[in-house]
């Protein structure tokens, strides 16, 4: 039988799991103190719900569960591949939350400030080094259309990141509508905007000329490409510049409001910046989007945005919604990489007993010692010296021989 | 789009999730203080591993994940149903742990005292009212063949149950080999013992005559049925009686040792009893099995046993192992049923702000209040009186109007 976990999935050794539990509990502590409440939904969702969820590329990465019994026989006889499966593993926590809110709205407060920390699944190509099973830590506010919801999510997420020791991070903010209105005003076709955004997103990497070249390759109208190039050549792509090109003035004002308010709250502890090319992959975002980057690490450590239309698909009634997700795996990987160790609540002590000892007495001694230590009960090995060396290597601070209690030997 | 969760799976509302988080954290606290270390493995396992795992009836309840891309096309062309899937959702935490131990043995202490609390999946018939996704809380000891491992698992599990408020429970103990040796000695065929055990398991419900009738229906030898009936008619099925019928005397002695030692540790707080008909469903158990029943509730709240051959299937080298699993869902259902409320760390306060308030200032006030309260920031509604009534109903203890801070109004 195979001993390794499946491709793209991981076993966690005790030391790494300690870090994961610590990170999760610190994040939960900050979220809860801020009045958010945790919920849980199943890992499996109806396949039709997943298919219609506007998850962008993630829809191609869904693990599908085979039908069972008669239904499977019927599907096999029909010969249609899509009929073989009736449910799938969720690719994020936003679709399940939208379904959940629609199902339970009457029993939930409004606005609903909610926590989810749970596993999600994506059938990524393993050679990319990406995980196929990973944990996301999300907070969402449902039922609040004001930009204060964005401000609060950023404030709470930033405080959670600081609680686990992150510093020197920047919150990047954009509004998709701002970008799209600007591009449409320049003459890009409305149905090409998704593709144009993908190119524009690379501004940091390939520069204004690179973006223009890519857009020409995509056969965008030359006048539109020229207008964008002219705009970028001025070198000023600040919020006022972009907002000035948009018909709807409230969009720029709202982004400005969020940035200014968060800057006051951050008080220099972290940075907030308008990022004209920030798009994010999910199709379901409708307004502001945000991302957190951290000095010294490529890629985002958190991301989110407003998705005002998703709950309505389930409920038939529009419910404004905005969410922010911490990239739990990335955070844990960075901490592990930095040699982070979890502050221990109690020192660890090994209680060693000889063969034939009165085991009820040994466990009673352990109960006594637990008032001060985390106690592991172990049979003494034949080579006790070596055993104690190994215990010290594994993080034990003390040893007690059951027959010599209350004598305790410190080993590091 | 469908708003209800999939059949047999559940959404958890905030109040129920608070109980779930409390139960899990109390169980983890006891487990960790006893020197056990948490690990995690993926929810998905290789299909071949699952198939070969001796999980009894659970093997018929596996959710299988459809292959993807070319592999799926090839499988569809082949037309073999079993080729459509290469991985499945785990039905328990014992198979993944055995695989994990084999994969990581060199990096793990011996004995390895391990915690798993995680989701498992079984495609139960929904009409039975059973969940298809549920959480198990397991502790296991790998690498210890002595019955002290059984004693410690029972001691730690009993203390975890007491920590979450359970009283009046009984730990039932048996050894499968004891039962099988007795039955074989009476003349039941070795290859019929599984089926005979299933009938014998019903002794409590259908009585000695009922068991005999069922065994005759199963066409067991009349002499064997008569021997069992004669034994049961004496009305004495104590440990000494059953052990007296077995060739291997150490089996009875070990069960006696575990019962006596646990009784000393329990010191009257819970009961320990030999249960001659206890079998448990899994095929992989090799020795002692145990179960916890609780006065006033049918069914088991915890169960486990020794499985000395499972790790060897992965490692090619025998590793003694014993585990005990708390039925997390049952525990939570009982607490919810009893109207249990989680002791709050901090009282909840709603910080209400008027439209147009300085939101950075409001959040700064929230940060001040968080030293004493769990604070939820909310826009004041048009009917503030009604809003405050609703907050009181939802467990808030106090309200503060941001513009009147530090004035605080107690609402219950």
Residue A305 reports pLDDT greater than 80: yes
Q: Which of residues 157-176 of A touch B (CB under 8 A)?
A: none
Determine the residue among B65, B132, B399 to mutate to test chain A binding: the one whose Cβ has the most chain A Cβ atoms within 10 Å: B65
Query: Would the CB atoms of B103 and A390 count as touching at under 8 Å?
Result: no
Residue A377 reports pLDDT greater than 80: yes
**To the nearest whole number, what is the mean pLDDT of chain A?**
93
Q: How far are the Cα atoms of A47, A175, A223, B3, B409 from residue B11, in angstroms, in the given order?
A: 17, 32, 52, 11, 34
At residue B286's C-alpha, the angle toward residues B280 and B291, to 5°, is: 30
Domain ranges of chain B: 14-184+255-337, 348-410
Residue A216's CB is within 10 A of a number of other CB atoms, namely 14
CA atoms of B94 and B113, how far apart (whole Å): 13
**Is B172:B290 a contact under the CB 8 Å cutoff?**
yes
Question: Rounded to a whole number, what is the distance in Å from the CA of A115 to chain B's nearest CA?
Answer: 9
pLDDT reported for residue A283: 75
Could you tell me which of A99, A124, A104 has the C-alpha nearest to residue A48? Answer: A99
pLDDT reported for residue B381: 92
Least trusted range by pLDDT, from A9-18, A383-392, B122-131, B148-157: B122-131
pLDDT reported for residue A30: 96
Question: Residues of B49-60 as b/e, b for ≥16 C-beta within 10 angstroms?
Answer: bbeebbbbebee
Q: Which of residues 346-385 of A touch B (CB under 8 A)?
A: 346, 348, 350, 359-360, 363-364, 366, 370, 374-379
pLDDT reported for residue B82: 87
pLDDT reported for residue A207: 87
**Is B24:B134 a contact under the CB 8 Å cutoff?**
no
pLDDT reported for residue A307: 95
Could you tell me which of A336, A347, A392, A352 has the C-alpha nearest to residue A371? Answer: A347
Helices in A130-169 by DSSP H: which ranges? 148-163
pLDDT reported for residue B245: 87
A138 at B interface, C-beta within 8 A: no
φ, ψ of residue B197 in degrees (nearest 5): -60, -40
CATH class of the domain comprising B14-184+255-337: alpha beta
| B11, B265, B375 ranked by CB distance to A360: nearest | B265
Query: Would the CB atoms of A111 and B3 count as touching at under 8 Å?
Result: no
Model confidence pLDDT, tens digit, residues A249-263 = 899 999 999 999 999
And the tokens for B339? 């109207």
Query: Would the CB atoms of A3 and B46 count as touching at under 8 Å?
Result: no
pLDDT reported for residue B304: 95
And the tokens for A249? 């003035």
CA atoms of A26 and A48, how far apart (whole Å): 36
Query: Would the CB atoms of A377 and B152 count as touching at under 8 Å?
Result: yes
| B33, B264, B359 ranked by CB distance to A370: nearest | B33
CA atoms of B90 and B46, how far apart (whole Å): 9
Q: Which of residues 382-401 of A touch B (CB under 8 A)?
A: 390, 394
CA atoms of B57 and B2, how far apart (whole Å): 31
A124 vs B contacts (CB less than 8 Å): none
Question: ω into residue B111 within 30 of 0, thus cis?
Answer: yes
B280 at A interface, C-beta within 8 A: no
**Is A183:A339 a contact under the CB 8 Å cutoff?**
no
Q: Are strands B169-175 and A37-38 parallel, antiparallel or unpaired?
A: unpaired
- CA dihedral sign, ordered B225, B230, B236, B239: negative
Work out the pLDDT band at A341, boundaries 50, 70, 90: confident
pLDDT reported for residue B217: 94
Helices in B132-248 by DSSP H: which ranges? 148-163, 176-185, 193-200, 203-217, 222-233, 239-244
A140 at B interface, C-beta within 8 A: no
Question: Rounded to a whole number, what is the distance in Å from the CA of A3 to chain B's nearest CA?
Answer: 5
Could you tell me which of B172, B245, B237 has the C-alpha nearest to residue B203? Answer: B237
What 3-state class would DSSP assign to A177? helix
CA atoms of A162 and A26, how far apart (whole Å): 10
Model confidence pLDDT, tens digit, residues A285-295 = 999 999 999 98
**What's the average model confidence in pLDDT over A117-128?**
89
What 3-state class would DSSP assign to B403? helix
pLDDT reported for residue A55: 79
Residue B398's CB is within 10 A of a number of other CB atoms, namely 20
**Count of A–B CB contacts within 8 Å?**
230
**Is B188:B227 a contact under the CB 8 Å cutoff?**
no
The contacts of residue A365 (CB under 8 Å, 6+ apart) are A351, A400, A402, A405
B370 vs A contacts (CB less than 8 Å): 33-34
Burial (CB count within 10 angstroms: exposed 0-12, middle 13-18, buried 19+), residue B30: buried
Q: Which residue of B has its CA nearest to A355?
A: B146
Question: Rounded to a whole number, what is the distance in Å from the CA of B3 to chain A's nearest CA?
Answer: 5
CA atoms of B381 and B162, how far apart (whole Å): 44
What 3-state class would DSSP assign to A158? helix
pLDDT reported for residue B345: 80
Work out the pLDDT band at A412, boundaries 50, 70, 90: confident
What parts of chain B have a pLDDT lower than 50?
Answer: none
B148 at A interface, C-beta within 8 A: yes
CA atoms of A311 and A281, how far apart (whole Å): 19
Question: ω into residue B206 within 30 of 0, thus cis?
Answer: no
Q: How far are the Cα atoms of A177, A190, B345 from residue B381, in angstroms, in the given order?
A: 29, 39, 28
Question: Rounded to a whole number, what is the distance in Å from the CA of B46 to chain A's nearest CA?
Answer: 6
**Is A254:A231 a contact under the CB 8 Å cutoff?**
no
Question: Rounded to a whole number, what is the distance in Å from the CA of A375 to chain B's nearest CA?
Answer: 5
pLDDT reported for residue A72: 92
- CA dihedral sign, ordered A306, A312, A313, A314: positive
Could you tell me which of A266, A149, A251 has the C-alpha nearest to residue B379? Answer: A149
Question: Rounded to a whole number, what is the distance in Å from the CA of A252 to chain B's nearest CA?
Answer: 18
Work out the pLDDT band at A202, boundaries 50, 70, 90: confident
A146 at B interface, C-beta within 8 A: yes
CA atoms of A102 and A313, how far apart (whole Å): 9
Least trusted range by pLDDT, from A228-237, A340-349, B8-17, B388-397: A228-237
B9 at A interface, C-beta within 8 A: yes
φ, ψ of residue B188 in degrees (nearest 5): -75, 140
pLDDT reported for residue B204: 78
B38 vs A contacts (CB less than 8 Å): 14, 17-18, 21
Could you tell me which of B123, B118, B112 has the C-alpha nearest to residue B153? Answer: B112
Model confidence pLDDT, tens digit, residues B189-232 = 999 988 888 888 888 788 889 999 999 999 999 999 999 999 88
**What's the average model confidence in pLDDT over A221-250?**
89
Helices in B52-192 by DSSP H: which ranges? 69-78, 94-104, 148-163, 176-185
**Is B48:A2 a contact under the CB 8 Å cutoff?**
yes
pLDDT reported for residue B225: 95
A20 at B interface, C-beta within 8 A: yes
Q: Distance from CA of residue A59 to its chain's centroid?
A: 18
Query: Would the CB atoms of B379 and A148 count as touching at under 8 Å?
Result: yes
- The angle that helices A193-200 and A176-186 make with each other, rounded to 10 degrees, is 110
Residue A127 reports pLDDT greater than 80: no
**What's the average model confidence in pLDDT over A365-379?**
95
Could you tell me which of B170, B134, B153 has the C-alpha nearest to residue B304? Answer: B153
Q: Which residue of B has its CA nearest to A367?
A: B34
CA atoms of B366 and A43, how far apart (whole Å): 34
**Is B366:B378 a contact under the CB 8 Å cutoff?**
no
């Amino acid at each position: 039988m195979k001993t390794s976990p499946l491709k793209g999935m991981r076993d966690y050794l005790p030391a790494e799991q300690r870090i994961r539990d610590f990170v999760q509990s610190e994040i939960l502590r900050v979220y809860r103190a801020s009045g958010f409440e945790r919920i849980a939904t199943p890992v499996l969702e109806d396949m039709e719900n997943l298919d219609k969820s506007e998850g962008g590329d993630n829809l191609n990465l869904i693990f599908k569960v085979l039908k069972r019994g008669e239904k499977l026989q019927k599907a096999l006889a029909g010969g249609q591949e899509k009929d073989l499966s009736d449910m799938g593993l969720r690719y994020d926590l936003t679709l399940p939350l939208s379904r959940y809110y629609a199902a339970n709205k009457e029993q939930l407060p409004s606005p609903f400030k909610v926590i989810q920390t749970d596993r999600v699944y994506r059938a990524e190509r393993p050679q990319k080094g990406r995980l196929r099973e990973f944990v996301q830590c999300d907070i969402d506010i449902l039922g609040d259309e004001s930009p204060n919801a964005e401000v609060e999510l950023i404030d709470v997420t930033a405080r959670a990141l600081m609680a686990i020791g992150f510093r020197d991070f920047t919150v990047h903010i954009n509004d998709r509508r701002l970008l799209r209105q600007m591009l449409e005003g320049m003459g890009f076709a409305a149905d090409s905007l998704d593709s144009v955004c993908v190119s524009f997103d690379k501004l940091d990497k390939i520069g204004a000329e690179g973006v223009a070249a890519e857009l020409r390759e995509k056969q965008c109208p030359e006048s539109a490409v020229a207008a964008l190039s002219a705009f970028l050549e001025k070198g000023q792509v600040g919020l006022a510049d972009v907002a000035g090109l948009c018909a709807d003035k409230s969009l720029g004002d709202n982004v400005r409001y969020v940035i200014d308010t968060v800057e006051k709250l951050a008080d220099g502890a972290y940075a907030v910046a308008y990022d004209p090319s920030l798009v994010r992959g999910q199709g379901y975002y409708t307004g502001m989007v945000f991302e957190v980057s951290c000095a010294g690490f490529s890629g985002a450590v958190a991301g989110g945005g407003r998705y005002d239309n998703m709950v309505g698909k389930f409920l038939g009634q529009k419910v404004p919604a905005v969410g922010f997700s911490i990239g739990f795996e990335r955070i844990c990987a960075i901490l592990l990489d930095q040699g982070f160790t979890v502050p221990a609540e109690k020192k660890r002590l090994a209680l060693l007993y000889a063969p034939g000892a009165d085991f009820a007495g040994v466990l009673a001694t352990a109960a006594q010692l637990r008032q001060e230590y985390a106690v592991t009960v172990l049979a003494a090995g034949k080579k006790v010296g070596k055993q104690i060396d190994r215990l010290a290597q594994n993080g034990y601070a003390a040893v007690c021989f059951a027959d010599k209690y209350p004598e305790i030997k410190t080993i590091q």
